[in-house]
Amino acid sequence: MSALVLNNIGKDFGGVHAVADLHMEVPQGRITGLIGPNGAGKTTVVNMISGMLSVTSGAIKFGTHDITHVGAHDAAALGISRTYQNIRLLSESTVTENVMGGFHRHEKASILASLLGLPSSRRETAKVRRQALEMIDRFEMSAFHDHPAGDLSYGHQRRVEMMRALAMAPELLLLDEPVAGMNEVESGELGTIFSGLAKGGMAVLLIEHNMRFVFGLCDFVYVLDSGRLIASGTPDEVIKNPAVITAYLGS
Ligand SMILES: Nc1ncnc2c1ncn2[C@@H]1O[C@H](COP(=O)(O)OP(=O)(O)OP(=O)(O)O)[C@@H](O)[C@H]1O
Ligand SMILES: [Mg+2]
């Protein structure tokens, strides 16, 4: 079943059609690829799905919900989580604090309680900290848990972003170039993590320029160029498509 369906969505910025008439489906339990040259509209698609950008035309369905005009807060509450192409961490805060920030979808009552200094909130905070530390351990970053996020290597910062996005146990995970700037070993490790998440039932949308990485993980890939879908299919089908070759290499 498709967790997410984009029905002919479009986004205009002034006169620019950043995305036009895009149909795309992201099923549960799989990693779906979204590729295309710079400026193709990939991040714009993620911004619309995650409710950070309004949609100009078309509709977005998530499970049984129409989320076309849902804002970022409500999209997150429905179980849609994302990472950012340009890493967005609290660089002065520790790794643990950054990851704890991701848990707060379930913890609204406790934030209020904590502002009021109630004992139940201290218990909640301790519980969230413990969950954050468990996740940090699973991502093999325990040695860094009390380091300021801004001091970490680029690859490690990307891992922290991933953990923060996963902390809310999303049903749909949107990854905007999650392994950019990583070496092959680091990206391979993250690829294994992504496969595990999909096996566990999560719907994953992966944007990435590294084709080998995308084709190794995805069983279905969409290709955008100048805001339009120029191809879709299995990696084998897409790689042989003349329109894709032209988009990447020029005619
Ligand atoms: N907020 C905005 N205002 C105006 N134009 C925008 C805005 N965001 C994106 N665009 C334009 O929309 C088009 C698609 O941009 P987008 O960032 O979605 O591409 P992308 O496929 O993610 O590219 P990249 O691979 O470089 O990350 C580009 O022409 C871009 O300049
Ligand atoms: Mg982008």
Q: Tell me: the pLDDT tens digits for 57-106?
A: 999 999 999 999 999 999 999 999 999 988 889 999 999 999 998 886 55
C-alpha count within 13 angstroms, C-beta hemisphere, residue 35: 26
SS3 for the chain, per residue?
CEEEEEEEEEEEECCEEEEEEEEEEEECCCEEEEECCCCCCHHHHHHHHCCCCCCCEEEEEECCEECCCCCHHHHHHCCEEECCCCCCCCCCCEHHHHHHHHHHHHCHHHHHHHHCCCHHHHHHHHHHHHHHHHHHHHCCCHHHCCCEHHHCCHHHHHHHHHHHHHHCCCCEEEEECCCCCCCHHHHHHHHHHHHHHHHCCCEEEEECCCHHHHHHHCCEEEEEECCEEEEEECHHHHHHCHHHHHHHHCC
| Matching residue, tokens 């900290």 | 129
102 lines ligand 1 (CB under 6 A): no
Using 50, 70 and 90 to split pLDDT, how confident is the model at 28?
A: very high
pLDDT, the chain, mean: 91
Q: Does residue 247's CB lie within 6 angstroms of at least one atom of ligand 1?
A: no
- Residue to probe by mutation, ligand 1, list 9, 11, 12, 16, most atoms within 8 Å of CB: 16
0.95 surpassed by pTM: no
Distance (Å, whole) CA 132 – CA 179: 22
Distances (CA, A) of 51 to 9, 55, 68, 77: 13, 9, 8, 11
**Shortest-distance ligand to the CA of residue 84:** 2
Structure token pair of residue 108: 């609204």
Whether the CB of 228 sits within 6 Å of ligand 1? no
Average the pLDDT over 238-247 and give the result.
91
Measured from the alpha carbon of residue 40, the closest ligand is: 1
Which residues on adjacent β-strands are paired with residue 16? 13
Q: Which ligand is nearest to the CA of 38?
A: 1
Specify the pLDDT at position 112: 63
**What gap in Å lies between CA 183 and CA 246, rounded to an integer?**
28
- Does the structure show a pLDDT above 70 at 245? yes
pLDDT at position 224 over 90:
yes
Residue 10 neighbours by CB under 8 Å, 6+ apart: 17, 19, 20, 21, 22, 55, 56, 57, 58, 227
Ligand 1 atom closest to Cα of residue 44: 18
Q: What is the pLDDT of residue 208?
A: 93
Question: For residue 22, what pLDDT is reported?
Answer: 98
pLDDT at 108: 54
* 106-137 confidence digits (pLDDT tens): 555 555 666 677 677 777 788 889 999 999 99
pLDDT digits (tens, 9 = 90+) for 146-201: 999 999 998 899 999 999 999 989 999 999 999 988 889 889 999 999 999 999 99
**Contact 53 CB / ligand 1 (< 6 Å):** no
The better pLDDT of the pair 126, 31 is held by: 31
Locate 34 and state its tokens. 């979204």
Nearest to 87, CA basis, from 154, 41, 36, 148: 154
Q: Which residues lie below 8 Å from residue 142, measured CB to CB, with a gap of 6+?
A: 133, 136
The answer to whether residue 7 scores a pLDDT higher than 90 is: yes
Please give the domain boundaries of the chain with CATH numbers for all domains: 2-79+170-249 (3.40.50.300), 94-164 (no CATH)
Give the residue-averaged pLDDT of 217-244: 95
